């Protein structure tokens, strides 16, 4: 796919609800409701981001940070500028 972006994420598991908090440096801070057990928070994070950006779930891939709060995701179908426009700093 021609358009794709690599996005740093600061993930906060066990939040009351899924929400994008805003930018923390170059990373997008995202709260997810799921606990960090058996990859459930990672799955919910990818599903939530897909919904927020209006792309299919398969377009969001976790590249790094399986067990860390600092994650890197690839989003196919969007440029970094489009992501930043959706969530202004």
By residue range, what is the domain housing residue 50?
4-86
Q: What is the mean pLDDT of each run of 10 residues along the chain (89 residues)?
A: 88 97 96 95 97 96 96 96 89
Closest C-alpha to 45, from 72, 82, 83, 25? 72
Contact (Cβ atoms closer than 8 angstroms) between residue 3 and residue 78: yes
Predicted pLDDT at 89 = 81
Query: Which pTM value belongs to this model?
Result: 0.93
- List the CATH number of the domain containing 15: 3.30.1200.10
Number of structural domains found in the chain: 1
12's CB contacts (< 8 A; 6+ apart) are: 21, 29, 30, 31, 32, 69
């Amino acid at each position: 796919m021609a358009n794709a972006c690599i996005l740093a994420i600061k993930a906060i598991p066990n939040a009351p609800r899924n929400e994008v908090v805003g930018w923390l440096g170059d990373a997008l801070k995202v709260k997810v409701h799921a606990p960090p057990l058996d990859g459930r928070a990672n799955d919910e994070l990818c599903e939530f981001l897909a919904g927020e950006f209006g792309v299919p779930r398969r377009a969001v891939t976790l590249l790094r940070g399986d067990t860390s709060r600092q994650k890197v995701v690839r989003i196919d179908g969007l440029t970094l500028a489009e992501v930043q426009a959706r969530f202004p700093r």
